[in-house]
């Protein structure tokens, strides 16, 4: 579940801050980036119910998700460890509209994605580093197929895709509607935290259009090349960017609440 928990944490923090709003039923769960793809809610529910037995009303759902994402990356996938502060409170609202507007999408140009990161206090380096979270997990074929068969309405594949990688993807994601829910790995070692994601981008073999777009810009492209050569630099920088992300718009003190059940406000 590491990739799913990491993505859930990212999707929480990018919509009105890290406030556990993605965990509330309705709202953000129904937004296009989350509907039928966000996973891991049961893991958070299970952790929270155990915590409520041990120390009721103390640990927020937001802190549970923040720590679960770190532990999953560190313990399950061999990824880096990053130190976290705690004491986040849970928000009281969730917004489908905000999620649709604020989350970066796989079809967006790099410029738009960079702007969405900047709006959260994250810089270009954070864009490149946090995109490296795609070293883990899968994407649904429905998101990938436009690149494979009808790039930008051309009726042809994306010309920037490596030819042999294109063939592999077309067999995983054939041009039929029923293949939309098939899964394609985001990198060649999708359950292991490593720098293969960046090596693939250098070889024009990024799965998502938004990933490969990192190579279209001199600044982000040079960072990608650097991380493809120096995995430990990526691990260190990933932890630093995750700490920044986990601090976006947090609620503290007497604001918000500590939810008893992560799916509903108290």
Per residue, what are the HEC states of 72-93? HHHHHHCCCCCCCCCCCEECCC
What percent of the residues of the chain are helix, what percent strand, and what percent coil, each to the nearest 5? 55, 5, 40
Question: Residue 185 pairs with which residues in a beta bridge?
Answer: 138
Q: What are the residues facing 90 on neighbouring strands?
A: 257
Does 194 show up as a binding residue in the annotation? yes
The whole-angstrom separation of Cα 34 and Cα 37 is: 5
45: annotated binding-site residue?
no
Residue 185, classed as helix, strand or coil, is strand
Check whether 21 is labelled as a binding-site residue: yes
Contacts (Cβ under 8 Å, ≥6 apart) of 32 = 99, 100
Contact between 130 and 11 (Cβ < 8 Å): no
CA 51 – CA 67 distance, rounded (Å): 13
9 catalytically annotated: no
Question: CA geometry: angle at 64 spanning 63 and 69, to 5°?
Answer: 100
Catalytic residue among 9, 11, 29, 259: 11
Are the C-beta atoms of residues 151 and 208 closer than 8 Å to each other?
no
Determine if residue 90 is labeled as part of a ligand binding site.
no
Length of the chain counted residue by residue: 266
Phi, psi angles (nearest 5°) of residue 216 = -85, -5
- DSSP sequence for 207-235: SSHHHHGGGGSHHHHHHHHHHHH-HHHHH
- Angle at which helices 110-118 and 124-131 cross, to 10°: 110
Residue 95, annotated as binding a ligand: no
- Tell me the binding residues for substrate: 104
- Tell me the binding residues for Ca(2+): 12, 15, 17, 19, 21, 28, 135, 187, 194
- Tell me the binding residues: 12, 15, 17, 19, 21, 28, 104, 134-135, 187, 194
Q: Which residues are catalytic?
A: 11
């Amino acid at each position: 579940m590491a990739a799913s928990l990491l993505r859930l944490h990212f999707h929480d923090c990018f919509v009105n801050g890290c406030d556990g709003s993605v965990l509330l039923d309705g709202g953000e769960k129904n937004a296009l980036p989350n509907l039928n793809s966000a996973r891991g809610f049961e893991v958070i529910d299970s952790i929270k119910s155990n915590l409520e037995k041990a120390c009721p009303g103390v640990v927020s759902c937001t802190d549970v998700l923040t720590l679960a994402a770190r532990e999953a990356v560190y313990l399950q996938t061999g990824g880096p460890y990053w130190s976290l502060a705690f004491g986040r409170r849970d928000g009281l609202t969730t917004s489908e509209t905000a999620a649709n507007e604020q989350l970066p999408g796989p079809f967006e140009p790099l410029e738009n994605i960079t702007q969405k990161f900047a709006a959260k206090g994250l810089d270009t380096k954070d864009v490149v580093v946090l995109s490296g979270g795609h070293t883990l997990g899968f994407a649904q074929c429905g998101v990938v197929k436009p690149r494979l068969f009808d790039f930008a309405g051309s009726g042809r594949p994306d010309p920037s895709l490596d030819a042999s990688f294109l063939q592999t993807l077309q067999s995983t994601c054939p041009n039929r509607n029923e293949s939309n829910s098939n899964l394609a790995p985001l990198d060649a070692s999708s359950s292991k935290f490593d720098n293969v994601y960046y090596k693939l981008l250098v070889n024009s073999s990024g799965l998502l259009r938004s990933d490969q777009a990192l190579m279209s810009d001199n600044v982000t492209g040079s960072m990608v090349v650097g991380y493809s050569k120096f995995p430990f630099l990526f691990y260190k920088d990933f932890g630093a960017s995750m700490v920044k992300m986990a601090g976006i718009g947090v609620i503290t003190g007497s604001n918000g609440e500590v939810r008893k059940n992560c799916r509903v406000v108290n």
